[in-house]
Structure 1
Amino acid sequence: MQTAQIVIGLAIILFTYLDFFHTTLSGNGFGIFSRIVNQILNRIMIQNRTRTIFKFSGITHLLITTFLWMLLLFIGTYIVFSAGEEMVVNSTTGLPATHPERFYYTGYVLSTLGIGDFVPGTDTSRILTGILSFSGFILITTGLTYLLSVLNAVLAKKQLSFLISTMGNDIEEIFIFYKQQDDLENLISNAGDVRQQILKNASSYLAFPMANYFLSKNHESALILQLARLYEVIMIIRLDWSEETVQYKKLSAIINGIKKYLELGLEDANAASHNEEELKTYRSHWMNHGYYFKNDLAVDKQFSSSLKYAGWNWKEVYKLKDEE
């Protein structure tokens, strides 16, 4: 029983660290546990979009996920130290520690405080104490480094969002911004930088997935909303140019960057319902300018899902400034 309990405790610790390091260091998105937790949290946040808590969505995701990692680590370690009476003893009397005392011992082992009023009572416990004393330290220090990286990724998202918003306050203004340039000289000169920033943020989906749960109710700082507007406009503007032109190729490069951003998204394309007819209604807006939008169902579905779980929808994409 003692060996089995130690194995169970160590299995929980191992699972915790696999999920933790996969999320923070692998560059391949969330671990299984973290993904489930954050998707559930995201659903809760979206349902409370009108409340103050929505403004703290990112930090809520970060704190709760970190807390759950530490809780699992604590539970696993406590199970290990409760595997036998001699696993933890009083350093003065040599008597086995009670369960509250083991709880206390677990806390200071993981925090590496080393107070010394309770000590491991067996060689197995001494070895495990030596190993586990590093666990909390590693989680805390790596977690702090990850936090700084997440904040940098959040700032990069806002920077790109603000860049797009400077082109116009709504989809019509962005369209006019480009149509006023006969040869798109401004776009051509900046297309590489815009595409690079889009791809940089796309990589954040994998390297720092937590950054994508820092949601905003502000149009200017909502990246997925701004990217949807930019995508819609560029798809229309591109119709003015033949495939051999530099303008067409530059516009296509930006569109491909946006598609890559969506492909690496946290939400599957089928995570949210997609109403193709409703979207066609919104896109009829371009008929006022003599254009017909060519739908790409795969991209449209991915956008619908990404918009929904960032607190937005296609109606907001096409909402004009004077309608707000």
Structure 2
Amino acid sequence: MSSQLQLLFGAAVLLFVMVDVAWTTLTTQGSGPITRLITGGFRFASAQVHAISGSRAVLAMAGPSGIVAIGGVWLLGLWGGWLLVFCAFPGGIVNAQSGAPADFAERVYFVGFTLSTLGVGDFKPQSEVTRVLTALAAFNGLVLVTLVITYAVPLVQGAVTRRKLAFSISLLGSCPQEMVLRAWESRKSGGFESALEQVSADLIQCSEQRLAYPLLDLFYCRHQRFSLGVQLGRLDEALSLLTQGLQPNCQWHSFTVENSREVVSQYLYRVERKHAAANLEAPPIPAVGLLKAKGLPVVDNQEEVFCRLEDRRLRLHNLVRAEGWDWSDVEHDPLTGVGG
């Protein structure tokens, strides 16, 4: 490869990597092409390993491993791009003591310690052009390290926010039926609606965080109580029962409840995936035997009610499955034994 081609190819690699870095870390429009590919690969690989082993410990490592992998690919991309650039100047890097031109392995070493800003000094740029390029490479490495750190911290914070929200929803009830019962019993005091207001505010934040940081999808939880997908499935099923599964004169259509439904819809839109399973079916309708036994005025034909919600429930099912759970986890809490 000629020196001109090496220079052009190296510059193209650097531009492509830095566009991906800037797109991923400095915008709120999701990930760049490299990051998107790595995220999809980790999601697929972790799902396959989980399906084979059945262990959620594998899923729990996906998020941290994804951050390390993305940072590593960015670093290797810059390393390779700058190596091509410096190789375009055969005598541009020399041994600081002997003055002999650096060979390929020594150029790899020179680019590495330049990007790390260590400044070892046993090799140095010889010409004015390579001196300027060395300064640019050192600055490029410093910028990359800074952006990786500033990207990783909000990711961890976002994962904590999701866990906090999921736990808050779990306090409303361990299954959709229990949530409905508690809402019905507290309808005069307004306790359920007060909790819904806080849940809606936190869910809006999680929705926007997910749009800015799609890698958050790789931060799986080991227990369903901290899984936002499972808890949103329970909450939305409960709200469906309250707004459409009761007798017309008893249905719950307050401002707070309707807003909460809209916020859940927005979150489902944010996490909609093109790679959803083609054979995914709408989940079974929730059992209402417990509600009838407690005297709640539920309608008899629940199939007709939930048939109208099929698209919404398919999205919920996809969200639950994407987090490594089954719909049975939504309808049943293994700790309490409550559920459909």
Task: Identify whether the pair has TM-score above 0.5, normalized to the shorter chain.
Answer: yes
> Which deviates further from its counterpart, 283-292 or 55-64?
283-292
Mapped contact 2:242–2:252 kept (Cα < 8 A)? no
Q: C-alpha separation between the residues in 1 aligned to 2:119 and 2:224?
A: 50
One-letter amino acid of the structure 2 residue matched with residue 283 of structure 1: I
Deviations 1:87-109 (A, max 9, x none): 31112222210111111101111
1:25 maps to: 26
Cα offset, 1:274, TM superposition: 4.9
Q: C-alpha separation between the residues in 1 aligned to 2:118 and 2:27?
A: 29
In the TM superposition, 1:59-208 aligns within 5 A as: 59-183=64-188, 185-208=190-213
Cα offset, 1:48, TM superposition: 2.3
Q: C-alpha separation between the residues in 2 aligned to 1:59 and 1:124?
A: 39
Q: C-alpha separation between the residues in 2 aligned to 1:22 and 1:75?
A: 20
Cα offset, 1:118, TM superposition: 0.9
One-letter amino acid of the structure 2 residue matched with residue 161 of structure 1: A
What 5-or-longer segments of structure 2 have no aligned partner? 293-297
Q: C-alpha separation between the residues in 1 aligned to 2:130 and 2:101?
A: 13
Q: 1:232 aligns with which of 237, 242, 247?
A: 237
One-letter amino acid of the structure 1 residue matched with residue 8 of structure 2: V
Cα offset, 1:205, TM superposition: 0.8
1:317 aligns with 2:330: yes
Q: C-alpha separation between the residues in 2 aligned to 1:92 and 1:265?
A: 57
Cα offset, 1:287, TM superposition: 6.7
Q: C-alpha separation between the residues in 2 aligned to 1:275 and 1:71?
A: 39
1:267 aligns with 2:273: yes
Q: Give the match's secondary structure for 2:94.
A: strand
Structure 1 residues 192 and 5: alpha-carbon distance in aligned structure 2, compared to 1, 3 A threshold: same
Cα offset, 1:250, TM superposition: 1.6
Deviations 1:159-208 (A, max 9, x none): 10000111122233222221222347112333322111110000111222
Structure 1 residues 302 and 247: alpha-carbon distance in aligned structure 2, compared to 1, 3 A threshold: closer
1:249 aligns with 2:255: yes
1:58 maps to: 63
1:48 maps to: 49
One-letter amino acid of the structure 2 residue matched with residue 285 of structure 1: A
> Which deviates further from its counterpart, 56-65 or 171-180?
171-180
Structure 1 residues 191 and 174: alpha-carbon distance in aligned structure 2, compared to 1, 3 A threshold: closer
Q: C-alpha separation between the residues in 1 aligned to 2:105 and 2:318?
A: 47
> Which deviates further from its counterpart, 205-214 or 218-227?
205-214
Identity over aligned residues, as a percent?
A: 24
What 5-or-longer segments of structure 1 have no aligned partner? none
Structure 1 residues 150 and 104: alpha-carbon distance in aligned structure 2, compared to 1, 3 A threshold: same
One-letter amino acid of the structure 2 residue matched with residue 309 of structure 1: A
Mapped contact 2:93–2:107 kept (Cα < 8 A)? yes
2:36 maps to: 35
Deviations 1:72-98 (A, max 9, x none): 111111111222311311122222101
One-letter amino acid of the structure 2 residue matched with residue 190 of structure 1: A
Q: C-alpha separation between the residues in 2 aligned to 1:312 and 1:224?
A: 9
1:4 aligns with 2:5: yes
One-letter amino acid of the structure 2 residue matched with residue 30 of structure 1: S
2:316 maps to: 303
Q: Give the match's secondary structure for 1:303.
A: helix
Mapped contact 1:272–1:308 kept (Cα < 8 A)? no
Q: C-alpha separation between the residues in 2 aligned to 1:249 and 1:323?
A: 29
Structure 1 residues 153 and 266: alpha-carbon distance in aligned structure 2, compared to 1, 3 A threshold: farther
1:285 maps to: 287
> Which deviates further from its counterpart, 120-129 or 210-219?
120-129
One-letter amino acid of the structure 1 residue matched with residue 190 of structure 2: E
Q: C-alpha separation between the residues in 2 aligned to 1:257 and 1:287?
A: 29
Q: C-alpha separation between the residues in 2 aligned to 1:301 and 1:234?
A: 16
2:295 maps to: none
Tell me the C-alpha RMSD between the 2 structures: 2.4
Q: Number of aligned pairs?
A: 320
1:220 maps to: 225
Q: C-alpha separation between the residues in 2 aligned to 1:246 and 1:235?
A: 10
Q: Give the match's secondary structure for 1:48.
A: helix
Q: C-alpha separation between the residues in 2 aligned to 1:232 and 1:122?
A: 69
